């Protein structure tokens, strides 16, 4: 009977997930609403584990599709605008993360992973750095959970703060790209704030994500050992750039590009729903108070510091 109940629960969750995913393609379901529904599902125990493994792929595919709707000139302008801020923020966050980690007595690997995730692009940076420093599974999990929880909070808080401070679409897009960890939450916050903010945030964040490569090389050099690990290249960033270039070289297919861009934006809403539904209170408790203090401290420093820098 117990087995039958589990099967029935699984069937119900599949139907519920299917309904919500279908609704995510409707205009009245915003990124914030999708994330909130996902969190509600998680907290009341509705799970569909087989779908969660596709979250990253849906997110990356959505970003590539969104590239078809972006102007190449705007992308170049955003790249120039965010270049100096990226160098400063990545360097400052990495040094502060290591220093605060020692002060709080957080394990070296955990500190390095949290700092990498905060400095560049959340889970992607952590996933790239973890095998290089031979981090243990619980250290990687701690870092991912800290970054993931702060991502969810940022998605709700940043648009509210931006509106209260009267930030322009471009200023908010740059701020979100610098101060929010993961690409999904950056894009989600940008989508909530406005179309221009979404374009700027996505472009600057993906350019920041390229810093995974030099950061990984530096960490590999500093932590040299006989057991050298390969560095995963974020290929979706290359495809995103190629989509922008292709759409601008062949403008005659604009109607198709509009459909691709729309599908990318709606796919992002689906990804945010899946992200929200995969976070649990138990995982939050497991990550440890010191790791959270480190993550929150770095997050506040980069958020306030980058906002001050951008509004000067």
> In angstroms, rounded to a whole number, what is the distance separating the alpha carbons of residues 203 and 173?
9
Residues 112-122 have pLDDT tens digits of 999 988 888 77
Nearest to 261 by CA among 55, 75, 73, 71: 71
Cβ-based neighbour number of residue 260 at 10 Å = 18
Cβ–Cβ < 8 Å for 120, 219: no
Residues 162-178 have pLDDT tens digits of 999 999 998 899 889 88
Name the packing angle between helices 254-276 and 235-249 (round to 10°): 160
**pLDDT score for 1:** 44
For residue 13, being part of any structural domain is answered with: no
**pLDDT score for 155:** 82
Sole residue written with tokens 């792929």 = 57
Cβ-based neighbour number of residue 250 at 10 Å = 11
Radius of gyration of the chain (CA): 19
Sole residue written with tokens 């006989």 = 226
**pLDDT score for 8:** 54
For residue 6, being part of any structural domain is answered with: no
Residue 110 token pair: 């955990």
> In angstroms, rounded to a whole number, what is the distance separating the alpha carbons of residues 15 and 20?
9
For residue 159, being part of any structural domain is answered with: yes
Sole residue written with tokens 């078809």 = 68
pTM of the model: 0.64
For residue 192, being part of any structural domain is answered with: yes
Residue-range definition of the domain harbouring residue 96 = 31-44+52-311
For residue 130, being part of any structural domain is answered with: yes
For residue 35, being part of any structural domain is answered with: yes
**pLDDT score for 232:** 54
Number of independent structural domains in the chain: 1
Cβ-based neighbour number of residue 102 at 10 Å = 11
pLDDT < 50 stretches in the chain: 1, 7, 226, 228
> In angstroms, rounded to a whole number, what is the distance separating the alpha carbons of residues 299 and 297?
5
H or E stretch at 97 = helix 72-104
Query: What is the total residue count of the chain?
Result: 312
Cβ-based neighbour number of residue 71 at 10 Å = 13
Residue 221 token pair: 């050099």
Tell me the CA distances in angstroms from 278 to 17, 102, 282, one per residue in order: 12, 31, 11
Cβ–Cβ < 8 Å for 138, 110: no
Range 214-249 burial, b when 16+ CB lie within 10 A, else e: ebbeebbeebeeeeebebeebebbebbbebbeebee
Q: Is 229 helix (H, G, I), strand (E, B) or coil?
A: coil
Cα angle 101, 102, 106 (rounded to 5 degrees) comes to 50
**pLDDT score for 32:** 66
Nearest to 248 by CA among 58, 1, 72: 72
Q: Within its chain, how far is the Cα of 57 from the centroid? A: 13
Residues 251-300 have pLDDT tens digits of 888 888 889 989 988 887 887 788 778 766 665 565 568 888 898 999 89
For residue 17, being part of any structural domain is answered with: no
């Amino acid at each position: 009977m117990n087995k039958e109940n589990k099967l029935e629960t699984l069937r119900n969750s599949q139907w519920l997930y299917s309904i919500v995913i279908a609704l995510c393609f409707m205009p009245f379901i915003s990124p914030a609403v999708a994330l909130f529904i996902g969190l509600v599902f998680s907290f009341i125990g509705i799970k569909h584990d087989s779908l969660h493994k596709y979250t990253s792929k849906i997110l990356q595919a959505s970003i590539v599709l969104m590239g078809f709707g972006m102007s190449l000139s705007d992308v170049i302008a955003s790249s120039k605008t965010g270049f100096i801020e990226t160098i400063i923020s990545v360097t400052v966050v990495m040094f502060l993360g290591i220093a605060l980690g020692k002060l709080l007595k957080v394990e070296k690997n955990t500190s390095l992973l949290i700092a990498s995730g905060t400095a560049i692009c959340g889970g992607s940076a952590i996933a790239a750095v973890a095998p290089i420093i031979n981090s243990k599974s619980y250290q990687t999990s701690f870092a991912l959970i800290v970054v993931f929880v702060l991502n969810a909070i940022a998605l709700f808080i940043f648009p509210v703060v931006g509106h209260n401070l009267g930030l322009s679409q471009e200023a908010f897009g740059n701020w979100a790209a610098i101060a929010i960890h993961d690409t999904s939450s950056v894009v989600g916050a940008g989508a909530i704030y406005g179309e221009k903010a979404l374009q700027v945030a996505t472009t600057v964040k993906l350019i920041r994500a390229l810093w995974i490569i030099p950061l990984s090389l530096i960490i590999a050099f500093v932590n040299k050992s006989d057991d050298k690990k390969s560095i995963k290249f974020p290929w979706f960033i290359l495809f995103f750039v190629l989509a922008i270039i292709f759409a601008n070289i062949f403008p005659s297919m604009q109607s198709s590009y509009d459909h691709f861009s729309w599908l990318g934006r709606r796919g992002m809403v689906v990804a945010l729903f899946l992200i929200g539904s995969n976070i649990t209170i138990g995982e939050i408790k497991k990550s440890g108070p010191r790791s959270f203090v480190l993550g929150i401290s770095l997050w506040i420093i980069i958020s306030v510091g980058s906002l001050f820098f951008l509004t000067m």
